[in-house]
Chain A
């Protein structure tokens, strides 16, 4: 009995030590143990630059205790073009890549007055964000479904992987000037407008007292289709005039246009 107890204790200690070693091995070296970073607002602006997209993130808040600002890594293939800080000093434009809740995040080291709000602006370039879709086979063996062939798809998701919620989150996506939004699949509430002659779709998730606009772990997806403005208008008019003309000729006996059929019936 005694012997067995000794072995049991020894085994428990071994297991505990092993678990601790395993935990340190699994956690990446750059892990952040969340500090009280305050995310007052995050606004994202996406605009086209040729076929690429420019993503501008403007974060307003209070950096964490260790002088860090942590933002999620965009879920699109994006490269950082620039980063700047208002209200403090940015130690490096290039952020460190860390892991928060098993998701990748960027961490910028900043110097700022403790507890004071700063504004971090990061600009990314997103390759082929507005590129025309690659040509695919016309349809499957059963003919596929009836659908327009001139629609382009846009989808962007922001996921709040930070340990805290974001009070106000907003995103606006500008389209190339000659394009317009065809249909919006997500979110249900959005607004459409025009900025600098280009159509813009905007989404705003404003928080209330005690309620984050975008809670921790929450996400916002903007998904829509767009197309070249006024495409196919000439064809529609030709078809409409042809059908209208034919219908008037077909009914000429009663429209007063006259003709053989009208004369016969008269």
Chain B
């Protein structure tokens, strides 16, 4: 894990492509002029001034984050200031973001990761995986994608899965000598991890709670029952093909500079693993802690039945972090918490939440759906519009739950009003609820993998947009093939 100083000094140009340098040069000017333009523009009918300003702050921040003209944490601080002084959100709420569960979750996750790293168990696991399955960079990447696929069935939380895999990915980066911000292998590993995390989530109904909520809407508002197996049959092939595309296109976008682990390669890894000897007591403790954490996360739905109380995702992470200190596995000095990432997360969440709270995001969505006259356009076009909107809505609505609440009932209503089968439009839209892969603040797993400093916001954005475009296309093809074979007709 790298520190802020290692990652992004102001106006850093080293190791950047000419396009990234171009963005870096003009990012500040573009962001502030864009802000002034939106701020001074007449307020659109139906929108409040607060909503307009929140949108101006959000998109100006987006320009700064993508261009990386200033460090991401500095942009986040700027967001906090801009939101407060313009009244886009109230000061108390903005400052309160630091107490959000996402921040606590990340702090705890980094404590657990620090313990895993310090004891050497993470390194041992990575060495084992690399020497066994990671003889080449391609196989190592594939192995980590596969691990994500398996965990999607076991742990019903995207964040928990990210926290489990992050400590394994870090030593893997070291094994391949990935230097933060310079290594394409590092970029691929970290971006593919967050993509696999989100995309495989869409394949398994129970992998995240908002998907279950979407199925509830389909049942209550659309009169359509979707079982766990039906969801898997319809969504997993799309998720699988999307991830395959992501894996392949990754080599075109970021050709890895290494094909095998550093040094003498796999043999050296095997020797290093052998030299580590038997598991130490600290490593056993770390494994115990790890197993306990995974168990608590995986058994979430049964907590009350088992213990008489429910332990949340964030509290599980805090319990594990506490145990790491109490058992002597970790001391505060050995804890590596990237506070720049915490500041970045706060700013990003504040910008996104202000956009939601001001009503600007739902206003934009209402306007788009109001403009669409579904009766006058063919099914493929309306399907493409719906899927595009639901897939990319994560850029403005950071919460999966909020996206589900806003999008799914609206799409069911749209389908019913036009005589289409709600399942033909709203179910594929529900398959995109977890597609939060374009920007770091889109979801917690993104922030966790971003913290390694291996990729820029622009790297993730471009890769994410390409992959999501492919997924939208796959869904469109499936609407005429797979979905029909599964009995999802276009008309009621």
Contact = CB atoms under 8 A, between A and B. Distances in A.
Interface of A: 145-148, 151, 180-184, 191-194, 227, 229-230, 233, 236-237, 239-241, 243-245, 247-248, 250-251, 254-255
Interface in B326-367: 358-359
Interface string B42-77: 110111111000000000000000000100000000
B45 A193 contact: yes
Interface in B1-18: 11, 13
Given A145-B92, A181-B48, A240-B35, A254 B40 contact: no
Contact of B87 (A182, A184, A239, A254): A182
A146 B260 CA distance: 55
A240 B358 contact: no
Given A183-B358, A241-B33, 18 more contacts: A145-B90, A146-B91, A147-B90, A148-B86, A181-B49, A182-B49, A191-B46, A192-B47, A230-B40, A233-B39, A240-B35, A244-B30, A247-B69, A248-B25, A251-B11, A251-B24, A255-B25, A255-B26
A244 B32 contact: yes
Nearest to A248: B29
A193 B46 contact: yes
A244 B28 contact: yes
User: 8 closest Cβ contacts across the A-B interface?
Assistant: A240-B36, A247-B28, A244-B29, A183-B50, A148-B87, A240-B32, A233-B40, A146-B84
Given A180-B49, A227-B49, A254 B36 contact: no
Given A183-B50, A244-B32, A194 B40 contact: no
Contacts of A247: 28-29, 32, 69
B85 interface: yes
B32 A243 contact: yes
State the main secondary structure of chain B at its contact with A.
Answer: helix
B90 A244 contact: no
Given A244-B28, A247-B69, A255-B25, A237 B49 contact: no
16 contacts: A145-B91, A147-B91, A151-B87, A181-B48, A193-B45, A230-B42, A236-B36, A237-B36, A237-B40, A247-B32, A248-B26, A248-B29, A251-B11, A251-B24, A254-B24, A255-B26
B21 interface: yes
Given A147-B91, A151-B87, A240 B33 contact: yes
Contacts of B40: 230, 233, 236-237
Nearest to B37: A240
B404 to A, nearest CB: 18
B50 A182 contact: yes
A244 B27 CA distance: 9
A79 B21 CA distance: 67
A227 B69 CA distance: 34
B306 to A, nearest CB: 38
Contacts of A241: 33, 36
Nearest to A188: B359
